Amino acid sequence: MPTSTLQTGPVDINSMIQTVIFALTMFAAIYAARWAKRIGSKQNEIDTQLLEAQRQSLEAQTFVELSVSPLRGPDHQMEMIKMDRGNGYVVHTDILIKAIGVYPIYINEYVLVIPSTSTIIVETLGAIVIPSDGYIIQIPTQAYPNKTFDLTVKFEDHLGKKYNSVHHCYFRSENGRWKIESEKKSSL
Report pTM: 0.59
- Compute the distance between CA of residue 157 and CA of residue 105 in angstroms, rounded to an integer: 5
User: What DSSP character marks residue 188?
Assistant: -
> What is the second-level CATH architecture of the domain 65-187?
Sandwich (2.60)
Q: Is the dihedral of CA 78, 79, 84, 86 positive or negative?
A: positive
Which among 100, 95, 91, 132 has a CA at the least distance from the CA of 110?
Answer: 95
Residues whose CB is less than 8 angstroms from the CB of residue 107 and which lie 6 or more positions away in sequence, other chains included = 97, 125, 127, 128, 130, 135, 153, 154, 155
The per-residue pLDDT for range 65-83, each reduced to its tens digit, is: 777 877 765 554 444 444 4
Dist CA 137 CA 109 (whole Å):
11
Q: What is the pLDDT of residues 4-40, one digit of tens each?
A: 555 555 667 888 888 899 999 999 999 999 999 999 9
